[in-house]
Structure 1
């Protein structure tokens, strides 16, 4: 009797295993030569911006929403001593954040508030294959910080956001020359700031130094 019961239980267990849904696999672990790559945010002098969020799709077609956001790095020197027109010849990474556990990007979308206008924008860019190839390539470069030659990767994707909906993307390393990925003219975000959760209200007005520059020089649309 006990033997028959054990046989029936075993059959039920096996039947249940056969009918159960397969367990979904975890996303593949990125096969990168470093722990994480980075996204950085910046804006031209005085053109302060608040980034509502950066969304991306990686090479495995996995989508990630709001992997980074917040204040875009910018300079606001007093007495209008900065220059809002154009981008620096060698832009920095800006305020950056690691994309830990995320594979290299296929597409990046940035949503931001241009506080100088104010207006809310969004822009997307498809990342070319040469960018991902370069992100995996180690380069030898002389680094002033070390006063010596070092080996580095270009593992920073810097995003510059500007009034008028312009977004520019660079690939860079700490001591390596930045490479331009592309420039995108975005669109007004139809849902408004904060992805439509703030009833149209913007984050804050520009800082006093930024507002003084705008009042005396205006916004140099078309220079970015």
Structure 2
């Protein structure tokens, strides 16, 4: 009986040690997920779900408007990217990301897209490496920024509060067959701002420039 109890205790202790070791993969307390779009190409994230390398799932960790430049004097340029770490939030309790599911509305078109992003080991390595020299507010690239463009193109950058960015993914999303809000809005998307409407009427949507 004592032998059986001792064996069970060793198994439990081993499991705890393994869990502690896995937590050590993340060299900081939390990482940030942000979203951005090209100038005037507004987007609305319906949901973003994260699976980390330990198999933990975090649902609806991103939603709402993305970071987008909307000058009122038509001085913006929708061609290319104005890189930033985007509008988003820190994900507490998550280890380094393995997969990210995003469903969003591209308001410029309008169209709704969905995609599951497989985060590479290279991206996780970049998120784990200490910055040299360190950033003023962080020693690591502890953020992942996702760019959402019309046509369903997704770009991804590992970044830090200092602003340095390294591209880690470029993926084509698919159209969400249910439409916006998973078919609960009778096909109605969120409205586009007057600034974006005016820009698109004058310049169009520069597909292929992202």
The answer, yes or no, to whether TM exceeds 0.5 is yes
Greater CA radius of gyration, 1 or 2?
1
2:57 to 59, 63, 71: 63
* 2:103/2:115 contact within 8 Å kept: yes
Aligned residue for 2:151?
164
After TM superposition, which residue ranges in structure 1, 4 or more long, deviate above 4 angstroms?
A: none
Aligned residue for 1:138?
130
Aligned residue for 1:8?
none
Partner SS for 1:130:
helix
RMSD over equivalenced CA pairs, Å: 2.0
Q: Distance in 2 between the 1:176 and 1:76 partners?
A: 20
The TM-score, its normalising length taken from structure 1, stands at: 0.79
Q: Which runs of 5+ in 1 are unaligned?
A: 1-24
Partner SS for 1:135:
helix
The TM-score, its normalising length taken from structure 2, stands at: 0.84
Aligned residue for 2:112?
120
1:50 to 24, 38, 44: 44
Deviation per CA, 1:93-142, whole angstroms, max 9, x where unpaired? 01120110011111112111011111101122211112212212211237
Q: Distance in 2 between the 1:120 and 1:195 partners?
A: 9
Q: Which runs of 5+ in 2 are unaligned?
A: 1-14
Partner SS for 2:200:
helix
Aligned residue for 1:213?
199
Partner SS for 1:68:
strand
The count of aligned residue pairs is 191
* 1:138/1:151 contact within 8 Å kept: no
Q: Distance in 2 between the 1:184 and 1:223 partners?
A: 14
* 1:124/1:184 contact within 8 Å kept: no
Deviation per CA, 1:64-111, whole angstroms, max 9, x where unpaired? 2221111011011123100001113xx110112011001111111211
Give 1:1-224 correspondences, 5 Å limit: 30-31=23-24, 32-88=26-82, 91-141=83-133, 152-175=139-162, 177-204=164-191, 206-224=192-210
Q: Distance in 1 between the 2:176 and 2:138 partners?
A: 41
Q: Distance in 2 between the 1:66 and 1:151 partners?
A: 25
Deviation per CA, 1:10-55, whole angstroms, max 9, x where unpaired? xxxxxxxxxxxxxxx99x5743222210000111000011010111
